[in-house]
Chains A and B, each alone.
Chain A
Amino acid sequence: MSSAIPPPSQPNDRSLEFRRTWTRTREQLIKFTLLLCALLSILTTVGILYVLLSNAVYSPNKNTTAFFQEVSAWDFLTDTQWTPQYEQDRHFGILPLLIGTLKITGIAAIIGLPIGLAGAVYLSEYAAPRTRNTIKPTLEILAGIPTVVYGYFALIFITPYILRPIFSDLLGFEVKIFNAASAGIVVGIMIIPMVSSLSEDVLRSVPRSLREAGYALGGTRFDVSTKIVVPAALSGIIASFLLAISRAIGETMAVTIAAGLYTSTSLSPFEPSQTMTAYIVNVSSGDTPVGSIEYKSLYAVAFTLFLATLAMNILSQWVLKRFREVYQ
């Protein structure tokens, strides 16, 4: 204590000082904890990449090997058979699974994208605000229904009561009980709310003045919608399409239940076909020994699936950014 005149209220000051430091430390601690929460999302991505890469592409552990260290990537991409279950004659060609996925995604896109877009146009251009406010939440219910329910619906209702009477009794195709068409239809229904909700947002963000200019030139609602509003919002619409397709590619349970577990390269929609997601479910719910090549193939398929959906998502963001029309 060298100071000549001690401050009159030293103990008080000190406790104040302490409190100030403590408050500051606490603020920093809280900020740091919250930062850790935010970083967890990056950790999740790193985790996904590490798990997939270390089991599919290159194993960092010397005792184990990854899938592509045993099966060449060339075979994986070019072989036309997928028979991991046969011990004598194993083939790991992703093509049949890819065809299954593309077939179902294609059917889903044919059904879901036009209906979703037409619904979006109706909600944004035609419906009165009150109608919109009732229809929109009702459509979102479709998005909230668990996918396992859609699978059940495809198996119990779509195949026997829709597909069979039309295609089997009327047109003479053979519709199997497990088929790609029923799975594709329900996945298409699933993506309708996604497309209509995302597209409606972009349609509605097209400025009013553009529509009014169209009407002033004598355009009907049809002209204004299809020649002005939809082209102006095209980037957002395409982005929503891509997101919906990505969702359809990754859809699992409905496809597993309705399309069956039979791998085929047939392009017929009425044959059973296994998708990448259904294969993953199939292997993990069976009694495949851990560490076997069949088990590792799960990671290789998952990696392919991950890349496919990631590519769609990135493409969608790119389209949105690159082709966005900016209005003042």
Chain B
Amino acid sequence: MSQPPTEFSSRISSRHRTSKLFELFCLGAVLLALSVLCVLLISVIYQSWGWIDVDFLTNHHSRKPEDAGIKAALWGSLWLIILTGFFSIPIGVGAALYLEEYSRKNRLTTFIQVNLANLAGVPSIVYGILGLTVFARMFDMFSGEEQTVLTLSLIVTNLSIPLPFGPTLITGAMTLSLLILPVVIISSQESLRSVPPSLRHASLALGATEWQTIRSQVLPAALPGISTGVILSLSRAIGETAPLLMVGAASFITSTPGGIDGLGDIVTNPGSLLEVPFSKYTCMPMQIYNWVKFAKIEFQEYVASAGIVVLLGVLLLMNATAVYIRVRFQNKIQW
């Protein structure tokens, strides 16, 4: 032994000390991140205290901070999510089905996969520019003096579609759909992949066609995973501001899309549902941004924070649903 035992033990204890310090450092990093989350939530809730009440949910924006509410934005966000889901769910799940169930590994599918990974990394504001040029202005193809209106006559009512779409809900929803599509596709692919192949083989062996196999076996088995992914993507969409700001969500607006204020309006005037996609709108993050920009301190600090609490509440609800679906169905299916 070249080293005396005392020196050896002092070195080993210093090495253990380093190890312990390192653990504390790593734990500290996690705790720091978590405490930031706590501080953020507490400070927002503290600022909004006393500003959130029923009036805040049922009032439109007002110049007086005490009367200002988030109604138009709440309805706008709701419709935006419904429409975005309407566009992105069928297309996203469809694309995932093609890539996982039908396609063979060839150049095209490899290219689609690489492309998806890159699209998921494109900043949301670039999607905003895409939506602005393609949906809101339609490459200025209809840039005459008068606005072009395409009228489709349905049996009960007429549907007027302004061309280009301009700053309407449908523009926002289509832009957001393109934005979340890569995420929807990738997460749906993952849940399809987790369905065991034996299930497909059994179905095919019984003489079912590919589509019958998918519809009655693969999709139901993958549904919990797919819906979790979809809800999480939609909750990302509901918090997006930049692309909607680009495609022209209104700054301050005092009407809900289609003039619908509640379920009663849909029953008494179902035609208003058709106006919804083509009406001007605002949404919660947009409204919050506008309040933050306000010079008045009441808007900047209190009304904005009240809006944030409502937005976070809606997000929490969506995420809780996603977690519930995951837990509820994960335990049920056992291969």
Contacts and interface: CB of A to CB of B under 8 A. Distances in A.
A40 interface: yes
Given A34-B102, A148-B289, A157-B39, A118 B240 contact: no
Given A26-B211, A126-B23, A38 B98 contact: yes
Interface string A35-75: 10111111011011001100100000000000000000000
A192 B118 CA distance: 21
Contacts of A123: 30
Interface residues of A, number: 84
Given A41-B116, A119-B29, A153-B40, A250 B304 contact: no
B308 A37 contact: no
B25 A118 contact: yes
Contacts, number: 246
Interface stretch (A92-100, A138-146, A167-175): A138-146
Contact of B130 (A47, A249, A284): A47
Contacts of B236: 144
Interface string B33-57: 1101101100110010000000000
A250 B22 contact: no
Chain B: number of interface residues, binned into ranges: 35 or more
B125 A305 contact: yes
B40 A115 contact: no
A292 B243 CA distance: 21
Dominant SS among interface residues on chain B: helix
A324 interface: no
A236 interface: no
Given A38-B112, A41-B185, A226-B22, A147 B129 contact: no
Q: Which 5 residue pairs across A and B have the least CB separation, nearest first?
A: A250-B123, A146-B239, A37-B94, A122-B26, A118-B29
B171 interface: no
Interface string A294-316: 00001100100110011011100
Contacts of A26: 211
A153 B43 contact: yes
Interface stretch (A10-18, A80-88, A217-225): A217-225
Given A119-B33, A144-B315, A226-B22, A277 B134 contact: no
A32 to B, nearest CB: 9
A157 B41 CA distance: 11
Contacts of B19: 220-223
A277 B36 contact: no
B84 interface: no
B134 A280 contact: no
Contacts of A39: 112
A155 B111 CA distance: 42
Nearest to A33: B94
A145 B239 contact: yes
A119 B26 CA distance: 6
